[in-house]
Amino acid sequence: MLLTPDSDQELFRETTAKLLNEHVPVGELRRLRDDPVGFDDEYWRRGADLGWTSLLVSDAHGGGSISGQGLVDLSLVAYEFGRHAAPGPLAVSNVVAATLSDHGDPKNEPVLHQLMSGESIATWCFGEPQPNDQLASVSLDVRVDGDDVVLNGVKRPVESGQRADYLLVTGRTGEGHTQVLVPAGTAGVSVTALHTVDLTRRFSIVSFDDVRLPASAVIGEVGGAIGQVKWQVDIAVAILCAESVGAMQAAFDMTVEWAFDRHSFGRPLASYQALKHRFADMKTWLEASHAISDAATIAAATRSPDAEELLSAAKAFIGDYGTELMQDCVQLHGGIGLTFEHDLHLYFRRQTVNRALYGTPAEHRQRLADATDRDKGAA
């Protein structure tokens, strides 16, 4: 990160890095490749003890941040997650915790405390299969039936859907958005594992077939959740951007080290002018990605009016140029960069999946264009 953290933030980041080095080194990531969950409960509890799951929860509900801007503090964790290709539902767990904290309903206090302690895990069911797989396209039906709500539809991809104890489901009631907290194992909920290119995270298809819950399971107002959903998207995009920058930094550092260690005709690869030009391009993309990710995160943390535009700019830029950087890193490694035994692909896989989650670069460019049109109309 290009942020200048204070001493407390730097200690927090370093402690996170130490925990990840201890619990999920590359060897452990490879060992967990075929594990259906991808991480063990003790690892997640240790992270929760450190504060991974409570930074977006208000002090009144037992949470709290380090700097007073919880999303900025959380971006330090996300950056280290990217640098280590670490497993665990960091983005979605914090989305759910933030939503329950913002809503402030006493009946959800036990669930919120379970999430903050790492005792339970929650995920966000937001994205949907084609043809409803565009950013902010929601079609899952939430119908009010007397004192109950009934859910019908499919969500994909859902991170850690097989492991989650609670599912925050975003659906539609008429023209409005409704969110429902669904305990895992509720009748009518089925979870099917997905295979993705990311070897360190797990995603699922979650289907809801006449899932009936009391109306008290609704978070907020029926049909009135659009504002909260937009904030949740902002949180998720900020976390994924910071993660992707961390993965880019790890791949770049690995490639620079390789270029100085590897010799051709008695000279290190890094000494060749043609490669220097490529490294200069990559460094420019990397520094710009740091800067736009940090600026967008700060804007979101402070609820700045331009937060949505900055987040879309960050998601589009990092999605496109992160892919370019990763591809150059692979090519500069030569044949070894294409092998499964080399670690480079772990970071490339993380960046590739993050690029597609919560809006592709093209979708975020369209969101920027729409915002520009609205601004012109208002003027």
3-state secondary structure 269-316: HHHCHHHHHHHHHHHHHHHHHHHHHHHHHHHHHCCCCCHHHHHHHHHH
Q: Confirm whether 2 is domain-assigned.
A: no
Which residue shows structure tokens 């539902």?
A: 89
pLDDT one-digit tens code per residue, 240-254: 999 999 999 999 999
Q: Confirm whether 199 is domain-assigned.
A: yes
Q: Confirm whether 152 is domain-assigned.
A: yes
Give the end of a domain, one of 217, 236, 261.
217
82 is in which domain, residue-wise?
7-120
- What rounded mean pLDDT belongs to the chain? 95
pLDDT bin (cut points 50, 70, 90) of residue 378 is: low
CATH of the domain at 170: 2.40.110.10
Let me know whether 180 and 323 are in one domain: no
Let me know whether 231 and 350 are in one domain: yes
Three-class SS string for the chain? CCCCCCHHHHHHHHHHHHHHHHHCCHHHHHHCCCCCCCCCHHHHHHHHHHCCCCCCCCHHHCCCCCCCCHHHHHHHHHHHHHHHCCCCCHHHHHHHHHHHHHHCCHHHHHHHHHHHHCCCCEEEECCCCCCCCCCCCCCCEEEEECCEEEEEEEEEEEECCCCCCEEEEEEEECCEEEEEEEECCCCCEEEEEECCCCCCCCEEEEEEEEEEEEHHHECCCCCECHHHHHHHHHHHHHHHHHHHHHHHHHHHHHHHHHHHHCEECCEEHHHCHHHHHHHHHHHHHHHHHHHHHHHHHHHHHCCCCCHHHHHHHHHHHHHHHHHHHHHHHHHHHHHHHHCCCCCHHHHHHHHHHHHHCCCCHHHHHHHHHHHHHHHHHHC
pLDDT one-digit tens code per residue, 251-310: 999 999 999 988 888 788 888 888 899 999 999 999 999 999 999 999 999 999 999 999
Position 108 pLDDT exceeds 90: yes
Let me know whether 128 and 82 are in one domain: no
Let me know whether 324 and 237 are in one domain: yes
pLDDT score, position 330: 96
pLDDT bin (cut points 50, 70, 90) of residue 5 is: confident
Let me know whether 111 and 156 are in one domain: no
Q: Confirm whether 131 is domain-assigned.
A: yes
pLDDT score, position 173: 97
Let me know whether 278 and 150 are in one domain: no
Domain count, the chain: 3
Let me know whether 362 and 254 are in one domain: yes
The percentage of residues in the chain with a pLDDT greater than 70, rounded to a whole number, is 98
Distances (CA, A) of 342 to 196, 254, 317, 325: 19, 11, 27, 17
pLDDT one-digit tens code per residue, 168-225: 999 999 999 999 999 999 999 999 999 999 999 999 999 999 999 999 999 999 999 9
pLDDT score, position 3: 67
Q: Confirm whether 243 is domain-assigned.
A: yes
pLDDT bin (cut points 50, 70, 90) of residue 99 is: very high
Give the end of a domain, one of 93, 120, 147.
120
Position 2 pLDDT exceeds 60: no
Let me know whether 363 and 231 are in one domain: yes
CATH of the domain at 63: 1.10.540.10
Position 95 pLDDT exceeds 80: yes
Q: Confirm whether 91 is domain-assigned.
A: yes
Position 164 pLDDT exceeds 60: yes
pLDDT bin (cut points 50, 70, 90) of residue 379 is: low
pLDDT bin (cut points 50, 70, 90) of residue 133 is: confident
Q: Confirm whether 1 is domain-assigned.
A: no
Let me know whether 99 and 161 are in one domain: no
pLDDT score, position 373: 77
pTM for this predicted structure: 0.95
Let me know whether 170 and 101 are in one domain: no
Give the end of a domain, one of 169, 195, 217.
217
Let me know whether 69 and 156 are in one domain: no
d(CA 275, CA 270): 6
Let me know whether 364 and 236 are in one domain: yes
Closest CA to 198 of 311, 333, 25, 82: 82
pLDDT one-digit tens code per residue, 300-358: 999 999 999 999 999 999 999 999 999 999 999 999 999 999 999 999 999 999 999 99
pLDDT bin (cut points 50, 70, 90) of residue 107 is: very high
Written as one letter, the residue type at 145 is D
Region 1-12: what's the mean pLDDT?
82
